[in-house]
């Protein structure tokens, strides 16, 4: 993750796509613009899920076993879904780099915090 974040920092610099930091208003606009772009990429992830579900449902309607239909649909969207996750990561790493946040440390710290949380949601286990 640290390597990817360092790569993203150089990449965004080379492309001149860094968060502007020359004054507050420009920085604010730049952060909000990048946040907006992240949300559009997140919507594109949802579109890939939708494509997979539509593909699976069509195959199920045509008589295919549900699990087999979904396995085929997953495989069909895998490459494009990976691209959309990558787009999301590009914006997340850019904003994290602006704030000088080490995402790897933040990730493990947060996962540990969640694991040790006392008020976790109660989930029913399959019987
Ligand atoms: Mg995209």
Cα 76 to ligand 1 centroid, rounded to whole Å:
17
Residues of the chain with pLDDT under 50: none
Domain hosting residue 10, numbered range: 2-111
Question: Considering the domain boundaries, does residue 123 fall inside one?
Answer: no
Map tokens 């008020």 to a residue. 119
pLDDT of residue 118: 85
Kindly report the pTM of this predicted structure: 0.89
Exposed, middle or buried by CB within 10 Å (0-12, 13-18, 19+), for 85?
middle
Question: Considering the domain boundaries, does residue 29 fall inside one?
Answer: yes
Among candidate residues 125, 87, 117, the one with its CA nearest the CA of residue 11: 87
Q: What is the pLDDT of residues 88-98, one digit of tens each?
A: 999 999 999 99
Question: Considering the domain boundaries, does residue 67 fall inside one?
Answer: yes
Nearest-angstrom CA–CA distance, 37 and 105: 25
Cα 41 to ligand 1 centroid, rounded to whole Å:
5
Question: Considering the domain boundaries, does residue 79 fall inside one?
Answer: yes
Question: Considering the domain boundaries, does residue 98 fall inside one?
Answer: yes
Residues, beta carbon < 5 Å, ion ligand 1: 41, 44, 84, 87
The tally of domains found in the chain comes to: 1
* CATH code of the domain covering residue 66: 1.10.287
Cα 87 to ligand 1 centroid, rounded to whole Å:
5
């Amino acid at each position: 993750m640290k390597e990817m974040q360092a790569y993203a920092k150089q990449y965004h610099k080379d492309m001149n796509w860094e968060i502007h930091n020359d004054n507050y208003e420009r920085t604010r606009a730049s952060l909000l613009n990048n946040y907006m772009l992240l949300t559009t990429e997140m919507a594109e992830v949802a579109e890939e899920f939708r494509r997979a579900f539509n593909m699976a449902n069509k195959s199920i309607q045509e008589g295919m076993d549900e699990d087999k239909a979904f396995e085929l649909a997953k495989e069909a969207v895998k490459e494009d879904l990976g691209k959309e996750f990558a787009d999301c990561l590009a914006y997340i790493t850019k904003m994290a780099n602006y704030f000088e946040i080490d995402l790897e440390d933040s990730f493990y710290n947060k996962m540990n915090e969640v694991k040790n949380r006392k008020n976790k949601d109660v989930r029913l286990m399959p019987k």
